[in-house]
Structure 1
Amino acid sequence: MAVVAVHRAVLGGGRPTLPYAEAGRPGDRPPLVLVHGYADSWWTFEPVLRALPSALHAYAPTQRGHGDADKPAEGYLPEDFADDLVALLDHLGVERAVLVGGSSGGVQARIVAGRRPDRIAGLVLLGVPALLADKPGVTGFREAVRALEDPVDRDFADGFVRGLGVAGVAPGFLETMVGESLKVPARVWRETLRGLLETDLAATLTGILVPTLVVWGDRDPLLTRSDQQVILDAIPDSRFLVHEGAGHVVYWEDPERVARELVAFTAALRG
């Protein structure tokens, strides 16, 4: 089991300061950079980080506006989060990384993979939507988010976390994730969702030429297999793994399996 340490990255240049977790030690392979999704934080990957072998180096940042990261007044488009990721790689001195995007965090991860292939050795998408505005329930959820006020209602955050189709996840961990969601101001809930819904997500799938692994739980209440097929059709060098019986957040439900899959994917990368 890897030891997880938490640091802060002062990105400078007007960019926010971001906490990040680190596990494992530097080696010959590119490190993993795990990118969390909407209303989340680095804690979402804590079980995976602990399950990774110490020989595999990994980072998991908390993105702007989320968790204990700085919360600037603006900058919540997917492109803003993507630019922060590149700045984080620069700060860490990482020339090339394997980006691992969880849920909507995969949108900014694939933006970086498409725009900066010189910095990305591989891409892993864990329950990441190909498209979002077409999903059932999005209109109602957006209206609910528009009505949020600070402090965000705990019942709302609890319903959001537990509505992700999780099974067999420790209650204490779910409580941690609810607490992390409550750290997100109402304006960040609104602006981040607006950015996801108003961005052309299909365009963020173009130009990705790095090896890509797409992972999906077949009981995901948000994403269908056909949605995942859109990703597979758009990215030439992509493979598909299905977690049978799993919901949206496969890395909560079976972190040990996800860790094994990340190890195998990284080991198979060329160069």
Structure 2
Amino acid sequence: MTVVSLKSAQVREGLTLPYAEAGYPSGTPVVFVHGLGESWWAFEPLLRRLPASLHGYAPTQRGHGDADRPPEGYTPEDYAADLVAFLDAVDIDRAVLVASSTGGVHARMVAGSHPDRISGLVLIGVPGALEDKPAVTAMREAVEVLVDPVPREFSEEFASGAVDRSVARGLVETMIDESLKVPAHVWRETLRGLRDTDLRATLAGILVPTLVIWGDQDDFLPRGDQQTILDAVHGSRLLAYEGAGHHVHWEQPDRVVADLAAFATRIEHLGAPGTP
């Protein structure tokens, strides 16, 4: 197991993001991007398994976990700008972005707009679009009436509904506790920002190598939704994990790390960014 170090980065005045760092200094930089209601802890199972070829960073986004909580600024564009600022703050010239769930929206925005900074993109259970998804509609309705303090029952349902098979109870409990740190207005404004964004348009212009990882028991994202990503991003490739739910990286962390390492090695061999 790899040692995980906890640090913090001031990405701009008034906004400091805690982050976890793991792996080896000589390894390929990999930046993990979590989804709504989570924190760097969402990638703890992967960080502890990183091989010598990878050097991982997992920032907690604004409004989440122990990060600063500005009163506003929770659109995908805000999160994407924070991600670029984080790369600058920790002196990463180019990195592989590995994003889960809604974190994949702003990760792919950065990949499309900053191909000089991103060598590859891995999307784990990331929606191609949000319309016509009953689970997403139900969540929006619940979040619109959410008040502080956020009820534990809400967080328990949110965390447990993302997995299909047995996951270490300690991880689920940690993620419940982390989601309880997210104020109601952050839940609300983040979902509104996603709702008001043309998610299909955020797939345009991505030229970096892209890997799509999806669990075939994902109750949120049908296979057709993942096809939206594959059709939009030239050369992208799908790995379907049989029997896995929405958070594949919680259920099968060893396989995800192995696939990630193989993907990063392939990118190194490809050379220049944007090579198909």
Name structure 2 gaps, 5 residues minimum: 272-276
Whether the 8 Å contact between 2:12 and 2:85 is mirrored in structure 1 is no
Q: Match of 1:7, SS?
A: strand
* Aligned mates of 2:137, 2:101 — CA distance in 1: 18
Question: Alignment partner for residue 86 of structure 2, among 77, 88, 92?
Answer: 88
Whether the 8 Å contact between 1:129 and 1:227 is mirrored in structure 2 is yes
Counterparts of 1:29-178 in structure 2 under 5 Å? Answer: 30-178=28-176
Query: Aligned AA for 2:232?
Result: A
The alpha carbon displacement at 1:55 in A equals: 3.6
Residue of structure 1 equivalent to 2:11: 11
1:80-110 CA deviation, whole Å, 9 max, x = no partner? 0000000000011111000001111100100
Name structure 1 gaps, 5 residues minimum: none
Residue of structure 2 equivalent to 1:26: 25
Residue of structure 2 equivalent to 1:192: 190
What is the percent sequence identity of the aligned residues?
Answer: 62
Q: Report the TM-score, using the length of structure 2 for normalisation.
A: 0.95
* Aligned mates of 2:60, 2:250 — CA distance in 1: 17
Structure 1 stretch 139-148 or stretch 125-134: which is displaced more?
139-148
Q: Report the TM-score, using the length of structure 1 for normalisation.
A: 0.97
Residue of structure 1 equivalent to 2:224: 226
* Aligned mates of 2:237, 2:60 — CA distance in 1: 27
Question: Alignment partner for residue 257 of structure 1, among 231, 243, 255?
Answer: 255
Whether the 8 Å contact between 1:166 and 1:252 is mirrored in structure 2 is no
Residue of structure 2 equivalent to 1:2: 2
Q: What is the CA RMSD across the aligned residues, in angstroms?
A: 1.0
Whether the 8 Å contact between 2:217 and 2:245 is mirrored in structure 1 is yes
* Aligned mates of 2:136, 2:213 — CA distance in 1: 22
1:141-171 CA deviation, whole Å, 9 max, x = no partner? 2121111111100001101111113311011
* Aligned mates of 2:148, 2:41 — CA distance in 1: 22
The alpha carbon displacement at 1:121 in A equals: 0.2
